[in-house]
Structure 1
Amino acid sequence: MLSLLLVFGAGLLAGAMNAAAGGGSFVTIPALVFAGMPSVAANASSTVALLPGTLASAWAWRQEFRSFEGIPLPWLIGISFAGGLAGAVLLLATPQRAFDDLLPWLLLTGTLAFAFGRQLGEALRRHVRIGRGTVLAAQIVLAIYAGYFGGGVGIMMMAVWSLLGHADIRAMSAARTLLVSAANAVAVLCFALWGPVRWPETLVMLVAAVIGGYGGAVLARRLPAPVLRAFVIVFGLAMTAVFFLRR
């Protein structure tokens, strides 16, 4: 009973974070691990539980979907489907002990990407101009990462796209929600069919994340964006430290 309460609370917080600033997986995966779930199952279950929220975000942004300079949006969607599937298969093939060792580093990578991804993209754009081939290659890697773990992947995508010279923040935000949703949807299908999803905890977290997502949207209108981002970063760093200490 206590573990389900922990999972429900984590789902509420993660849904609110994703709606307001992102970074919900920094809450859900640790909570499922602390509730007694193996890390691979926690990762897969977290992806399933948070998918409805990402799909809802993509639907909300649907009027802003458009192709980037020289890169048709259908290409990026196809890459995201393929990369999400590859990442999910890679996760299922990863031994449990190896993923336990890798998880703190994934949390750290996701947190740093969330904290500094945009600044890095802006700084590099002042000195580097890359072509669409490089962006497509980077998108393949990011889609695989999204299916495998996904923490901070949306910020990574926007940082890469900014290197192409694309500066329309609304278009990038819309594309981010669509492509992350595409990668996660394929991963969820893979996890649901063959993965170690723990359905009781997952369904509790899914319902909580939907409720939290609505509350997070309301909260996002009242709190300054820097405050929300700072909370996600501090929480991500704290969870990273905890998992490094556990190892």
Structure 2
Amino acid sequence: MDLDATLILLGAGLLAGAMNAAAGGGSFITIPAMVFVGLPSIAANASSTVALLPGTLASAWAWRRDYRALHGIPFRIMLLISFLGGLAGALLLLATTSRAFDRLLPWLMLVGTLAFAFGRPLGAALRQRVRIGRGAVLGAQVLLSVYAGYFGGGVGIMMLAAWGLLGDLDIKAMSALRTILVSAANFVAVLCFALAGPVHWPATGIMLVAAIIGGYLGAILASRMPAPVLRGFVIVFSAAMTAAFFWRAWA
């Protein structure tokens, strides 16, 4: 790997780690960076998931004292769904052809960008009008866990929006639950990607180390910069990347 590619991956890993620690949306940085340095899109997606996993696991550990059951739904059930859904999503990705994923990737990025930009206000608006049962939440969790294993952009916000339809939430407890369930889906997906071989390990190793450093710096940044500014940066950047990938796929 040449020096230019290494510097791009280092910079993307630092920025993605900082974004995940401060506001989320790191995969909107890592996947385009890996594609830019020459990785096929499926390998870029798989490698990005591996590179960002240590950060999500560290966040899950940091939240460990705040986990709560979701309105009477046992934690072990949600965890099992997340493991199995992440596995299904990873296997689905491995079964997707590179050509098909190149066409699908910009749509996935668009969904993730819209979820990141509007998921919270939309969830709050729906909570005022809609209430659903635990069965519907479990069904949504299955779909979101598959999405997490397949791509995962914005999935944490999607989970919070779906869970909010049960009723009032303890946002701290739900943030903790979201973190561990997303980590579970990503963990099993990483195992599949590592065994099946689409991971580009040199690029992944560079980005993984940079993302860990970026995560530490991002936690410091988050304490000093207003959250709306950070979220605004993520939304603008991910929208630009989504447009670029649409152009790449269809031009």
TM-score (norm 2): 0.97
Q: Distance in 2 between matches of 1:154 and 1:18?
A: 11
Q: Distance in 2 between matches of 1:225 and 1:175?
A: 21
Q: Distance in 1 between matches of 2:168 and 2:94?
A: 35
Match for residue 41 of structure 1? Answer: 43
Match for residue 15 of structure 2? Answer: 13
CA contact 1:26–1:239 (8 Å) conserved in 2: yes
Match for residue 219 of structure 1? Answer: 221
CA contact 1:13–1:209 (8 Å) conserved in 2: yes
> What whole-Å deviation, never above 9, does each CA across 1:1-23 have from its counterpart, x for those lacking one?
21111011100000000000000
Matches within 5 A, 1:69-80: 69-80=71-82
Amino acid at match of 1:97: R
CA contact 1:92–1:195 (8 Å) conserved in 2: no
Match for residue 88 of structure 2? Answer: 86
Q: CA RMSD in A?
A: 0.6
Deviation at 1:195, TM superposition (A): 3.2
Report SS of the residue matched to 2:210. Answer: helix
Structure 2 residue aligned with 1:67, among 65, 69, 78?
69
Match for residue 132 of structure 2? Answer: 130
Q: Which runs of 4+ in 1 moved over 3 A?
A: none
Q: Distance in 1 between matches of 2:84 and 2:248?
A: 34
CA contact 1:25–1:151 (8 Å) conserved in 2: yes
> What whole-Å deviation, never above 9, does each CA across 1:182-231 have from its counterpart, x for those lacking one?
00000000000013100000000000000000000000000111111111
Report SS of the residue matched to 1:52. Answer: helix
Higher mean alpha-carbon deviation, 217-226 vs 65-74, is at 65-74
TM-score (norm 1): 0.99
Match for residue 173 of structure 2? Answer: 171
Match for residue 107 of structure 1? Answer: 109
CA contact 2:68–2:174 (8 Å) conserved in 1: no
Report SS of the residue matched to 2:39. Answer: coil
Amino acid at match of 1:51: L
Match for residue 157 of structure 1? Answer: 159
Deviation at 1:166, TM superposition (A): 3.5
> What whole-Å deviation, never above 9, does each CA across 1:75-121 have from its counterpart, x for those lacking one?
11100000000000000000000000000000100000011111111
Q: Distance in 1 between matches of 2:162 and 2:33?
A: 30
Using the aligned pairs only, state the percent identity: 73
Match for residue 59 of structure 2? Answer: 57
Q: Distance in 1 between matches of 2:140 and 2:186?
A: 17
Match for residue 29 of structure 2? Answer: 27
Task: Please state if 1:3 is matched with 2:43.
Answer: no
Number of positions where the alignment pairs a residue of Structure 1 with one of Structure 2:
247
Structure 1 residue aligned with 2:191, among 189, 198, 213?
189
